[in-house]
Structure 1
Amino acid sequence: MITSLTIENYALIERLSVSFSDGFSVITGETGAGKSILLGALGLVLGNRADLSSLKNKAEKCVIEAHFDLSKQDLQSFFEQMDWDFDTHTILRREILPSGKSRAFVNDTPVNVSDLQELGEQLIDIHSQNETQELYSDAFQFQILDAVAKNEELLSNYQLLLKKYRTAQTDCDQLKQDLGNRLKEQDYNAFLLEELTAAQLQVDEQENLETQLEKLSNVEQIQLQLGKVLQLTQSDQYGLIIQLKEAKSALQKIASFSIEYENLLERITSLLIEMDDVEKELESMVDHVQADPEMLEQISQKLQLIYALQKKHQVSSIAELLAIQETLSSQALSLTSLESQIANLEAWMVSAEKELNDFADSLHQNRIKAIPIVAAKIESIISDLGMPNAKFTIEVSPQEHFLTNGKDKITFLFAANKGTEFGLLKKVASGGEMSRIMLAVKALMAEHMQLPTLILDEIDTGVSGEIAHKMGEIMKNMSQNRQLFAITHLPQIAGKGKRHFKVYKTMEGDTTATQLKKLNTEERIIEIAQMLSGNTITEAAIGQAQALLN
C-alpha cells in the first residue's frame, strides 16, 4: 500500500506532502480544486508519460516521490527479475528537469520508465471516470471471469507454452524459407561440389605440376646444357676434375712449408669432393631427363583444369578452391540438418498443440462453471444499487485458433429492465449503469484477487441518495483487506471513509496553489455538511453530516 506521497513543483502544487494508512479513505473537494492534478502526479510516479508543461516553476525540476509498504505483496521475484534491490519499504521517485528530460528511480536505482510503469500496475489500480470503457475490453473481461474460475495458474501455463509455440512457429517458418532458398541452389551447388571433388586437388599440386611442365616442355634444351656441363667436368685433358686434381697434387708438395699452403690444399680438396658429387648428380640428371609426351599431355590437361576452376570461382590458388569445396560440402550437410531441425520442430509443435488444446479446454470448462457465479454476484450488487430487474450474463464461445487467453471468445451481455432482450454491454448500458456495474465488478474481483491499492475516481457518477449510501457500504466492505481511496462528490460515500482528505485551492497574490489536507472529525462534519447544503451550512445539514459519520 502507499504510505506517503510528496509532490514538488507540479502543476498548481508548489510542495505537498501527505501520509496514508490502510483501509478506506475518501478524497473530496470542489470541482476544479485539483483532484485531477493529484491523480496526474501519482500517475507520473507510477510511470505515465512526463510533460514539461507539468512544471509549476519552469526553472526548477519537478519531483514526485511515493513510499510503499510491500510487506503484504509478493513482489520479490519481480524485483529480482528487474535486477533491483528489494525492500518492503520501497520508494518510487520521478523527476522532470527544466530541460524536459525525465528520470525515474526505484529505491534510488535509476530505472526505465517502462519498467517503472510495469511495477506501478502492480502497486496501484486507478479507476478514473473514463476507464469504465475498460470493462468493454476482452482482456479485462477475461480477467474478471478467470479470477472467479481460479484459472490463474492454468492460464499462466497456457500463455507460457503458447509463447514457446509461437516462437517455434516463427523459427520453423524461417527454417522452411531458408530450406527453400537452399533447395533452389542445390542442383548447381551439387554440380560444383562434384566438379571440385572429381578434380582431386592437392594443396601444393599446382606448383609441382607447373615445374614438371617446364621440364618436359624443354627436354632437348636441358639435355644439351647438362651434357655440356658434364663434358666440361669429365674431359680427360681440360676437365674441371682433372684440373683440380693437378692443383691438389701441386699444393701437396708445398703444404708442409706453411699453414697458408696447407689451408689452400684443404680448400682445393673440398672443391674436388664437391665436383665429384656434382659429376654424379649431372650423370643422374642426364639419365633421367627424357621426353615423355604422354606425361606432358596429362600434366598439361590437369593444369588447364585447375586454371579453369580458378577462373570459374574467381580465385588464384588451389587452397582457395579447396576452401570452396569444403563450404559446398558443409552446405550439403547443413541442408540435411535443416530438414532434421524442421522435422523436430514440427514434431514438438504437434505435441505442444495437443497440450495447448488441453489447457484451452480446461480453461473453457472452468469459465463455464464460473459464469453463473459472476452473473449472480454482479446482479446481486447492482440490484442493491437500484437496478433490481437488471440481468447480466457472459457468453464464452470456443474458437478454432489459439488466442492470448485460450481458444474462447468472450461477450458480456446485459439487460437493464425486465422483459428486455440481452444486448452487448457496451451498447445497452448507460453511463450511470456502467458505473454501478464497474463497482460491482471491482467488488467481485476484490473477493477473488489480491488487488493492489485501489483508487476509485468518481465511480459514483450518476447516482445519489440511498444508492450512494449502498455504494459507500460496498466500498467500505472492499477496504476490509486492502487500501482503497474514493474520490467522490457524494456525502453519503464521504461519510463511510475511515479517513477524509480534502483538496482545495489557496490564493496568495497572483499565485494559485492546490493543497491536500487530512480532516479531523469537526472538519469532516463541516465538509460533509457543505456537500449536503452548499456554502450556506445549516444546522440540519450539520446534523445530517453527523448522522452520516455515525
Structure 2
Amino acid sequence: MLETLKVKDFALIDDIEVEFYNGLTALTGETGSGKSILLESLSLIFGKRADQDLIRYQKDKAMIKAKFRLTKYQQEKLSLPELIEIFREVDSKGKHQIKLNNEPITLAKLKEISKVIGLIHAQTDTFNIMDKGLYLDFLDQMDYATIDPLVNDYIFLKESYTNALKEYKGIKLKKEESVERIDFLTYQVKELEQLSLKVNEKEEVDEALSKLSNFDKIKQALQTSYEKLENDRFSLDAIYDSYQALHKVASFDKKYEDLSESLLSQYYVLDEVKNEIYKQLDSLDFDENEFNELQERSYELAKIETKYQKSINELIVYLEEIKDELSLITDYDNYVKKALEKVETNYNKALNKAIELSKKRKLLATILEKNILLELKDLDLEKSVFKIEFEPLEEKPELLENGIDKIEFMISLNEGEPVKILSKVASGGEKARFMFALKSIYAKTHQLSLLVLDEIDIGISGKTASKVASKMKELSKDIQTLVITHLPQVAAKADYHYLIAKEKVIDRMVSKINKLDSEQRVHAIALMLSDDRVTKEAIALAKSLLEK
C-alpha cells in the first residue's frame, strides 16, 4: 500500500506531503484544482516517462517521493523489504534521478517494481475501450507471466521469418536485374580467366623485367664489387693474418680479444659476401626471349588494370565475385528453392508459436468472460452477456505484430438483446463500468495492493452510482483504493476524504490537499450535490449518504 506521497515543485504543486491509509480514499475538488496533477506525480513513481514541462515555473527541478508497505507476496516476488521508498527527480536540463531506498535504479526496474505493487487508471484509459487494437493487450495483461514469454518467443521467430522473406525477395529481384548481365559477366570471366592472374604477379613481373632491362649495369656492378674484394690491396688473407696476430696476445688484454674476434667475424662475413657475388655473377645471363615475354606480360597486366580500374590482386577477388554472381543467375531455380524453403520453415516455426499463444489466450478469454460478468452484476449490469470473439483464421494466417489473433469484445447490456460490438452499443457510463470491472479483475488477479482510479465513474449517476461506490468499498477491503471522483455517493462511501483546491499564494496559484474531518466531509459532499451554494437540503442529503 501507499503510505506517503511527497511532491515538490511539480506543476501547480509547491510542496505537499500526504499520508494515505488502507481502505477507500476519495479525492475530490473542482475541475482544474490539481487532482490530475497529483495523479500525474504518482504516475512518475509508477514508471511513466517524465515531462520537463511539468516542472514548476521558475524552478530548476521537480521531486516526487513515495513510501510503500509491501505484502509478503510482493516482498518475495521483488526480493525487497516490507518498507520501500521510491524517489524521482526531474530537472530542467533533462537529467533524471530514480532511487529505491536511496540506491539508483533504472526506469525499467522501476516499472518492474510498480507493476507488482499497483495500477493507475487515468481518465483517458476508458476511451481505450473504443480501440479494438488494444483488446489483446487487455486480455494478455490478465496473465502476463504466462503470455509475455510466449509473445517474446513469437516476436523472435517472426523476425527470423521476416528476414528470410526479405532475403527471398532480394534473390528474386537480383535475378530479374541480372539476367541481362549473363553475356557481360561470361565475357568478363573468360577474359580474366585467360590471363591466369596470380597474387602479386604484376610486382614480380616488373621486378624481373627491371633486372633484365638493367642487365649490363648489374653485371658491371657485380664484377667491380668482386674484383675489389679480390684486389691485392684488399686481401681477405690479410684480415685473417691480422686476426691471428691479435689472437696471440688476446689473453693480455680484453680489448685485444674483442678486436681479434671482430676481425674474425668480418672475415667470415666478407668471404660469404664475395662468394655470393661470384655466384650471382656466374649465374647472370641475359635471355632475350624471357625479356620479350616479360615485357608482353607486363603490358597485358597494366592494360587489364587500366580497363577494370582495379589492381591485379583486386581483379582476382573480383573474378570470384562475378563467378558467384554468374552461378547465382545460371543456378537461379536452386537458389530460389532454398530461399523459399527457408521462408516456409521460419513461417511454420512462428506460426506454431502463435498457435500455442492463441490457445492460451482462448483459455484466458473464457476466464475473463466469467469474471467480467461477475463484476458487472455488482455494477447494475446484472443482465449483461459478454463474449470475447476470435476472428476466424485464414488458411495461411498472417503473422501479426503479437500473434495471429484478432479479437472483438461483444456485449449485450439488456435482457433478450443479442451480443453486439461493445464500442458501438455501450454508453459512456457502461463503458466506464466495464473498464472498472476490467481494472478490478486485473488488480485481484495480480494480488496488487494499490489501485488508483481517476474519474472511472464518469457518466454514472443515481442508484448506479451507489452500486459503483459499494463495489469500490468492497474492493478496498483487500486492495487500497484511491479514487478521484465527482460522485457524492463515492465520496460518502470512502473511509477517507481528501479535498484538493487551488489557493493564491504570493501572486501564484498553488494546489493544496487536505484530509477532511466529519464536518468538513458533510460540507464537501453537500457542495458536490449543489450547484453554486450549499443548501440545507444538500447538507441533509450529504449526512444521509455518509450514514449509509
Could you tell me the TM-score, scaled by structure 2's length?
Answer: 0.70
Task: Tell me what 2:312 maps to.
Answer: 321
Q: 2:19 aligned with 1:3, yes or no?
A: no
Contact conserved, 1:27 with 1:503, CA < 8 A, in 2?
yes
Q: Does 1:210 align with 2:209?
A: yes
In the alignment, which residue of structure 1 is the partner of 2:296?
Answer: 301
Q: Among 96, 117, 136, which residue is 1:103 paired with?
A: 96
Amino acid aligned to 2:312: L
Residues 479, 314 of structure 1: CA spacing in aligned structure 2 closer, same or farther, 3 A cutoff? same
- State whether residues 164 and 346 of structure 2, in contact with CA within 8 Å, keep that contact through their aligned partners in structure 1: no
Which whole-Å CA distance do the structure 2 matches of 1:346 and 1:90 have between them? Answer: 55
Aligned residue in 1 for 2:14: 14
| C-alpha distance 146-47 of structure 1, shift in aligned 2 (>3 A) | closer
Structure 2 distance, partners of 1:335, 1:448, is 62
Is 1:356 matched with 2:357?
no
**In structure 1, what is the equivalent of residue 443 of structure 2?**
446
Q: Do the aligned partners of residues 139 and 125 (structure 1) sit closer, same or farther apart at CA in structure 2, a change above 3 Å counting?
A: farther
Post-superposition CA distance 1:226-285 (Å, at most 9, x none): 9x99xxx9xxxxxxx9x989xx9xxxxxxxxxxxxxxxxxxxxx9xxx9xx99x969986
The alpha carbon displacement at 1:372 in A equals 4.8
Using a 3 Å threshold, how does the CA distance of structure 1 residues 484 and 59 change in structure 2: closer, same or farther?
Answer: closer
Match of 2:372 in 1: 378
Residues 164 and 342, structure 2, Cα contact 8 Å, conserved in 1: no
1:33 maps onto 2:28 in alignment: no
Instruction: Assess if the C-alpha contact under 8 Å between 2:24 and 2:472 holds in 1.
Output: yes
Looking at structure 2, the residues matched to 115 and 486 of structure 1 have their Cα atoms a distance apart, in angstroms, of 26
Q: Does the alignment pair 1:423 with 2:414?
A: no
Give the distance between the partners of 2:288 and 2:157, measured in 1 at CA: 69
Structure 2 residue aligned with 1:91, among 83, 86, 94? 86
- The CA deviation at 1:117 is 6.8
- The offset of 1:306, in angstroms, is 2.9
Question: Whole-Å Cα distance in 2 between the matches of residues 282 and 145 of structure 1?
Answer: 92
CA distance in 1, matches of 2:415, 2:279: 125
The answer to whether the aligner puts 1:435 opposite 2:432 as a matched pair is yes
- Give 1:79-158 correspondences, 5 Å limit: 89-97=84-92, 101=94, 103-107=96-100, 124-138=118-132, 140-146=134-140, 152-153=145-146, 155-158=147-150
- The residue number in structure 2 matching 1:505 is 502
The one of 467, 483, 494 equivalent to 1:486 is: 483
- Letter in structure 2 aligned against 1:396: F
Query: Which of 155, 161, 170 pairs up with 1:163?
Result: 155
SS at 1:304 equivalent: helix
1:514 counterpart = 2:506: no
- The one-letter code of the counterpart of 1:387 is L
Letter in 1 for 2:209: E
SS of the aligned residue for 2:458 comes to: coil
Q: Deviations over 1:356-403 (max 9, x none)?
A: 333333443444455454334433433443334433222111431122
Distance 2:491 2:280 in 1: 124
Instruction: Tell me how far 1:428 sits from its aligned partner.
Output: 1.5
Q: Which residue of 2 aligns with 1:394?
A: 388
Q: Aligned-residue CA RMSD in angstroms?
A: 4.9
User: Which shows bigger deviation, 177-186 or 190-199?
Assistant: 177-186
- Show the counterpart of 1:256: none
Structure 1 match to 2:255:
none
State the partner residue of 1:172.
164
SS of 1:492's equivalent in the other structure is: helix
Does the CA-based 8 Å contact 2:189-2:322 persist in structure 1?
A: no
Query: How far is the alpha carbon of 1:58 from its aligned partner?
Result: 1.7
Kindly indicate whether the alpha-carbon contact (under 8 Å) linking 2:157 and 2:349 is maintained by their aligned counterparts in 1: no
SS at match of 2:18: strand
Aligned mates of 1:494, 1:130 — CA distance in 2:
21
Question: Structure 1 pair 343/496, CA: closer, same or farther in 2 (3 Å)?
Answer: farther
> Does the CA contact (< 8 Å) of 1:446 and 1:478 recur in 2?
no
Structure-2 separation of matches of 1:391 and 1:469: 22
**Structure 1 residues without counterparts, runs of 5 or longer:** 80-84, 234-240, 249-269
The letter for the 1-side match of 2:514 is K
SS at match of 1:460: coil
- Maintained 8 Å contact 1:525/1:545: no
After the TM superposition, which of the residue ranges 437-446 and 117-126 deviates more from structure 2? 117-126
- Give SS of 1:402's match: coil
CA contact (8 A) 1:27 1:487 kept: yes
Residue 459 of structure 1: CA displacement? 1.6
Partner Cα distance (2:129, 2:391) in 1 = 19
In structure 2, relative to structure 1, the CA distance for the partners of 1:309 and 1:535 (3 Å cut) is: same
Give how far 1:485 is off.
1.0
Question: Which one is further off, 35-44 or 86-95?
Answer: 86-95
Q: How many aligned residue pairs are there?
A: 487
Secondary structure of 2:398's aligned partner: strand
Decide which structure has the larger Cα Rg and report it. 1
Q: Separation in 1 of the partners of 2:479 and 2:298?
A: 89
Q: Summarize the Cα distance change of 1:27–1:192 in structure 2 as closer, same or farther, 3 Å threshold.
A: farther
Counterpart residue identity of residue 455, structure 2:
E
Contact 1:44 1:94 in 2 (8 A): no
**Distance (Å, rounded) in 2 between the aligned partners of 1:283 and 1:422:** 104
Q: Distance in 2 between matches of 1:467 and 1:307?
A: 94
Shift of 1:434: 1.0
Distance 1:527 1:72, change over 3 A: farther
Ranges in structure 2 where 5+ consecutive residues have no aligned partner: 236-266
* Greater mean deviation of Cα atoms: 516-525 or 8-17: 516-525
Conserved 8 A contact 1:158-1:406: no
Change in 2 beyond 3 A, CA 1:343/1:171? farther
CA distance in 1, matches of 2:30, 2:318: 78
Counterpart-to-counterpart distance in 2, 1:529 and 1:128: 26
The AA in structure 1 aligned to 2:159 is: T
Percent identity at matched positions? 25
Structure 1 residues 384 and 310 mapped into 2: Cα distance closer, same or farther (>3 Å)? closer
Shift of the 404–59 alpha-carbon distance from structure 1 to 2, 3 Å rule, reads: closer
User: 1:104 touches 1:113 (CA, 8 Å); kept in 2?
Assistant: no
Query: How many Å separate the matches in 1 of 2:11 and 2:290?
Result: 98
C-alpha separation in 2, matches of 1:463 and 1:404: 36
CA deviation string 1:31-50 (max 9, x = no partner) = 44331232233345543452
Secondary structure of 1:495 counterpart: helix
One-letter amino acid of the structure 2 residue matched with residue 461 of structure 1: I
* Cα deviation code 1:146-201 (max 9, x no counterpart): 466x5742x33432222222332454356557767699589467557635645586
Q: Distance in 2 between matches of 1:382 and 1:525?
A: 30
